[in-house]
Amino acid sequence: MFCYQCQETAGGTGCTVSGVCGKTPELAAMQDLLVYVTKGLSAVTTQLRRENKTVDKSVNRLVTENLFTTITNANFDREVIVRQISRTLEVKDGLLAQVEKKDELPAAARWSGGESLYEEKASGPDVGVLSSKDEDIRSFRELITYGVKGLAAYNYHANQLGKEDTDVDLFMQRALAQTLDDHMTGGNLLALVMETGRYGVRGMSLLDSANRESYGNPEITEVSTGVRKNPGILISGHDLHDLEMLLDQTQGTGVDVYTHGEMLPAQAYPAFKKYENFAGNYGNAWWQQKTEFESFHGPVLMTTNCIVPPKDSYKNRLFTTGAAGYPGCVHIEEDKNGDKDFSALIEMAKTCQPPEELENGKLVVGFAHNQLEALADKIVDAVKSGAIKKFVVMAGCDGRSKARKYYTDFAKALPDDTVILTAGCAKYRYNKLGLGDINGIPRVIDAGQCNDSYSLVQIALKLKEAFGFDNLNQLPIVYNIAWYEQKAVIVLLSLLYLDIKHIHLGPTLPAFLSPNVANVLIKYFGIAGIGTVQEDMETFMGTS
Ligand code: SF4
Ligand code: SF3
């Protein structure tokens, strides 16, 4: 195996024996093959469209689902991946028969074979990261592929809420096809990286409107981190539609529903507040789940990444749904109407002890762009009066690397006249520090999940307008972003597309950036890594 798609890749270069995330070589091989056949399918659909032929919308869903399934910590179930490969090949073969100019298609589009051939194909020279021999071309291709994977995750959630943007789907497929095209030069691929960012903004905007139209505009909300007396179900991941179905089905059962990790921001949507059994948030970011799922005592529903391979002590209580999966854990399927039956979790919860208290505090969430726009005048005044000197965007992911303590220390060291703008699970490094407020504006402004980084962009655009600046880089905003998996890649590419300069990315730069590609990003965008807290405080604040 060779995988370097996430920040925790072994030795900072690549997982080759097994994944730090728990991915086995067998699973890695099948995920590589799934990406390969999905690219092949995308080359076929892109060619068909060029030939003015229609492609059924279900194919868009298939591409989105396949990519989402392969992001870090989403699906560890080899059988699911094998099934997706077979389904993809079947669909692809049917479409391939309609292509007139088959000679123009890459090998991945023409390859087909039964399940008995998958292993051999997956470990052969055509499949996987190392199939691109030139390290810079490989680097660009992987950067685009990971960006498109992140975009697929957001597209998937929007699709679940009945929203789609055909241009996003078509782009994803064209981009995947172009990563197979040997005529694409480094320059062409750099342009495609930027285009990926452009569609990243579009995908996040699509999901933003899907969420708001379905559940209302998030509003400032105090969330308890304590526990109640009833047994509970813990829901984690990013899928709000799953949460809605779970809340509906738990009414009157005596079972409470708690959020975990990236589900915390759901607490700010008006539509969910009507449920009396919607309890607080339990625990922290994904990587602490081994202890937190244990002490929760009740069933846990993983709607997306990040799954940590579970301990036997609670594995029977771990359920997956959507693109998430883990072998041996019950997967809740969607029926043909898109509904899911969570009765197995509810019945189990009734037999479980209530959750054990981990803490008993409050978190303030709900600063998505509408809420921030309502506060814009107050924020602008605070900046003009000098009460707020700087905003620091610290959005992104959390992870288990010890180096991430940097983000807690950095947040603590920030001067009192700075405000942190955050989104994603990176926030758990500093959202319980009690950093206070500035004239009623909290010093940690939490816009929501990683995809809600879109809200941070919206507020930056609003401030730019309020100050009459020409571009976003003139604002008193600095970027110190933490990344882990591929959704952070699409967020980063979206920021680059918006021409945001001098983003610091940590705790390490992606291993999939070759030295030359990294230099391009440094030269054009001023991207940098992180240093020590003191060094970075000087860089960002001009003070230590
Ligand atoms: Fe390694 Fe990350 Fe790939 Fe898992 S996803 S195998 S930790 S690089
Ligand atoms: Fe976190 Fe996995 Fe990326 Fe959605 S839950 S930000 S890491």
- 262 Cβ closer than 6 Å to some ligand 2 atom: yes
Q: What is the pLDDT of residue 542?
A: 78
- Candidate of 75, 149, 286 to mutate for ligand 2, largest count of ligand atoms within 8 Å of Cβ: 286
Neighbours of 132 (CB within 10 A): 17
Q: What is the pLDDT of residue 93?
A: 98
Which ligand 2 atom sits nearest the alpha carbon of residue 396? 6
Kind of pairing, strands 477-482 and 503-506? parallel
The C-alpha angle with vertex 441 and arms to 403 and 470, in degrees rounded to 5, equals 85
Neighbours of 360 (CB within 10 A): 10
Q: Which long-range contacts (CB under 8 A, 24 or more apart) does 210-215 make?
A: 210/157, 210/158, 210/161, 210/162, 210/163, 211/157, 211/161, 211/240, 211/269, 212/368, 212/370, 213/161, 213/163, 214/161, 214/240, 214/241, 214/244, 214/271, 215/240, 215/244, 215/269, 215/270, 215/271, 215/272
Q: Which long-range contacts (CB under 8 A, 24 or more apart) does 271-278 make?
A: 271/214, 271/215, 271/216, 271/244, 272/215, 272/243, 272/244, 272/247, 273/221, 275/247, 275/250, 275/251, 277/230, 277/247, 277/250, 277/251, 277/253, 278/247
User: Residue 43: phi, psi to the nearest 5?
Assistant: -65, -35
Please give the structure tokens belonging to residue 364. 């303030």
Q: Is 31 helix (H, G, I), strand (E, B) or coil?
A: helix
| Ligand 1 site, CB within 6 A | 3-6, 8-9, 15, 19-21, 23, 72
425 is in an annotated binding site: yes
In angstroms, the CA 502 to CA 530 distance is 11
487 is in an annotated binding site: yes
23 is in an annotated binding site: no
Determine the length of the chain: 544
In angstroms, the CA 302 to CA 506 distance is 26
Residues of the chain with pLDDT under 50: 543-544
d(CA 251, ligand 1 centre) in Å? 39
- 62 Cβ closer than 6 Å to some ligand 2 atom: no
Nearest alpha carbon, ligand 1 atom 3: 3
d(CA 47, ligand 2 centre) in Å? 34
d(CA 116, ligand 1 centre) in Å? 26
d(CA 450, ligand 2 centre) in Å? 7
Q: Is 254 helix (H, G, I), strand (E, B) or coil?
A: coil
Q: What is the pLDDT of residue 544?
A: 37
Nearest alpha carbon, ligand 1 atom 6: 19
d(CA 485, ligand 2 centre) in Å? 7
pLDDT digits (tens, 9 = 90+) for 64-86: 999 999 999 999 999 999 999 99
The C-alpha angle with vertex 83 and arms to 81 and 87, in degrees rounded to 5, equals 115
Count CA atoms closer than 13 A to 303's CA, side-chain side.
Answer: 25
**One-letter amino acid for residue 383 of the chain:** V
Ligand with the closest atom to the CA of 492: 2
Nearest alpha carbon, ligand 2 atom 7: 397
Task: Kindly report whether the peptide bond that precedes residue 3 is cis, defined as omega within 30 degrees of 0.
Answer: no
311 is in an annotated binding site: no
Ligand with the closest atom to the CA of 71: 1
Which ligand 2 atom sits nearest the alpha carbon of residue 487? 3
Which distant-in-sequence residues (6+ apart) come within 8 Å of 84 by Cβ? 34, 65, 66, 69
Which ligand 2 atom sits nearest the alpha carbon of residue 73? 2
**One-letter amino acid for residue 193 of the chain:** V
Which ligand 1 atom sits nearest the alpha carbon of residue 1? 6
Ligand with the closest atom to the CA of 395: 2
Q: Is the ipTM of this complex over 0.90?
A: yes
- 397 Cβ closer than 6 Å to some ligand 2 atom: yes
- 308 Cβ closer than 6 Å to some ligand 2 atom: no
Is this model's pTM higher than 0.80 or not?
Answer: yes
d(CA 364, ligand 2 centre) in Å? 19
Asked if 155 and 169 count as a contact pair (C-beta separation under 8 A), the reply is yes
Which ligand 1 atom sits nearest the alpha carbon of residue 19? 6
User: Residue 96: phi, psi to the nearest 5?
Assistant: -60, -35
Which ligand 2 atom sits nearest the alpha carbon of residue 72? 2
Which distant-in-sequence residues (6+ apart) come within 8 Å of 391 by Cβ? 418, 419, 420, 421, 475, 476, 477, 478
- Candidate of 8, 204, 484, 489 to mutate for ligand 2, largest count of ligand atoms within 8 Å of Cβ: 484
- 484 Cβ closer than 6 Å to some ligand 2 atom: yes
In angstroms, the CA 350 to CA 250 distance is 11
Q: What is the pLDDT of residue 17?
A: 98
Nearest alpha carbon, ligand 1 atom 5: 72
347 is in an annotated binding site: no
In angstroms, the CA 177 to CA 191 distance is 15
Which ligand 2 atom sits nearest the alpha carbon of residue 238? 4
Burial of 302 (0-12, 13-18, 19+ CB in 10 A): buried
384 is in an annotated binding site: no
Asked if 270 and 216 count as a contact pair (C-beta separation under 8 A), the reply is yes
Report how far apart, in Å, the C-alpha atoms of 157 and of each of 70, 205, 245, 258, 409 are.
Answer: 15, 12, 14, 20, 34
